[in-house]
Amino acid sequence: MSLDDKAQKPHDRLAEALAEDMEAVNRLIRERMASENAPRIPEVTAHLIEAGGKRLRPMLTLAAANLCGYTGRYHVHLAATVEFIHTATLLHDDVVDESQQRRGRPTANLLWDNKSSVLCGDYLFARSFQLMTETGNMRVLEILSNASATISEGEVLQLTAARDLATTEEIYLKVVRGKTAALFSAATEVGAVIAGASDEQVRALYTYGDALGVAFQIVDDYLDYAGAADVIGKNTGDDFRERKLTLPVIKAVALADAEERAFWSRTIEKGQQEVGDLEHAMKLMAHHGALAATRADALAWAERARDALAILPQQPLREMLEELALYVVARIR
């Protein structure tokens, strides 16, 4: 291994280690996103799928399966399944959020219309269920159908929890599990299950995916307040302007006195924001240590992810997954 390899991001090292499998996943994805009956479908799905994305979730499935000594071919099906579920939720999310851009390109709902995004998302969901059914593994089907339910539950919960100051850290965590962690943990868990791993290994890889997903999302929410614009590619304070109850705000609200509560109620609940409000919100967060506590939470989740892997075989893939957990929080170290 050269120094150059060492300098690679863990994500790129994973991609390199799993290159052959990922090639098979990409082939399967292209094959299954087609539709001879409705040519509009591959147009819409290709627009999003070919735009790249990091293919992080399918790589997690492949890595988990390989790490548990799997020698079959169904991890490829499961990796494609996970990517299809992910893409379907993105198509629907962009309709729900009325988004204009995704992965640096105009969204499908903008290029075609909401209808196409809703229906092509449904198609990818159905295709994902076909793919997972082909594995013939009931436990895998349970895990992935449960994850799908958790994802949509989390999204609906986010809809209703938005702008509600009563949102607790517990509710936040449920939303985060739905938005992000449920598919991460399902991705790693099914990799272990299809490999016939022990219950202990399955649990370890579930915990890894779950904690990785939670850390990932908390970092995102932290950086929206703490990050410089050029690091995260969006402006600081977007979540504040969109009145989202993310972890830094939840922590600050929990410690707010009456006057501060009135401020949060005006800006987040009622949405009456004035010049200087974002700066005042940052000051309140600093005062209560809300950003520091959020950062500490993210680091703890990343640590939990890394530690979960301790019982797994000490192999390069395990190392890469460990590094990935630390890399997720590297931006906030």
Q: Considering only CA atoms, which of 245, 243, 238, 252 is closest in space to residue 293? A: 252
For a second copy, the closer of residues 126 and 231 by Cβ is 126
Interface characters, 173-212, with a second copy (x: CB under 8 A): -x---x----------------------------------
CA dihedral sign, ordered 134, 125, 220, 165: negative
Distance CA 248, CA 229 (A): 17
Which of 26, 107, 148, 185: binder of a second copy (CB under 8 A)?
A: 148
Q: How many chain residues are in contact with a second copy, going by CB under 8 A?
A: 44
Residue 288: beta bridge partners?
Answer: none
CB 143 → a second copy: shortest distance, Å?
10
Contacts of 22 (CB under 8 A, 6+ apart): 15, 55, 58, 59, 62, 79
CB 164 → a second copy: shortest distance, Å?
12
Which of 11, 15, 46, 153: binder of a second copy (CB under 8 A)?
A: 153
Which of 152, 168, 272, 315: binder of a second copy (CB under 8 A)?
A: 152
- Angstrom CA distances, 121 to 116, 201, 298, stand at 8, 33, 31
Position 159 contacts a second copy (CB under 8 A): yes
**Phi/psi-derived region of residue 106, left when phi > 0, alpha when psi is between -120 and 50, beta in every other case:** beta
Distance CA 249, CA 247 (A): 5
Rounded to the nearest 5 degrees, what angle is found at the Cα of 248, between the Cα atoms of 245 and 252? 90
Which of 14, 157, 282, 285: binder of a second copy (CB under 8 A)?
A: 157
CA dihedral sign, ordered 54, 299, 192, 155: negative
For a second copy, the closer of residues 37 and 314 by Cβ is 37
Which of 39, 104, 233, 276: binder of a second copy (CB under 8 A)?
A: 39
Tell me which residue has tokens 């987040």: 268
Residues numbered 220-279 forming contacts with a second copy, rule: CB under 8 A: none
49: Cα separation from own chain's centroid: 16
For a second copy, the closer of residues 153 and 277 by Cβ is 153
Which of 14, 33, 41, 293: binder of a second copy (CB under 8 A)?
A: 41
For a second copy, the closer of residues 48 and 256 by Cβ is 48
In the numeric block, which tokens belong to residue 193? Answer: 């299950």
Rounded to the nearest 5 degrees, what angle is found at the Cα of 222, between the Cα atoms of 219 and 226? 125
Interface characters, 72-111, with a second copy (x: CB under 8 A): -----------------x--x--xx---------------
Residues numbered 110-139 forming contacts with a second copy, rule: CB under 8 A: 114-116, 118-123, 125-127, 129-130, 133, 136, 138
For a second copy, the closer of residues 154 and 209 by Cβ is 154
For a second copy, the closer of residues 38 and 111 by Cβ is 38
Rounded to the nearest 5 degrees, what angle is found at the Cα of 19, between the Cα atoms of 13 and 24? 150
Contacts to a second copy by CB under 8 A: 35, 37-41, 89, 92, 95-96, 114-116, 118-123, 125-127, 129-130, 133, 136, 138, 141-142, 145-146, 148-149, 151-157, 159-160, 174, 178
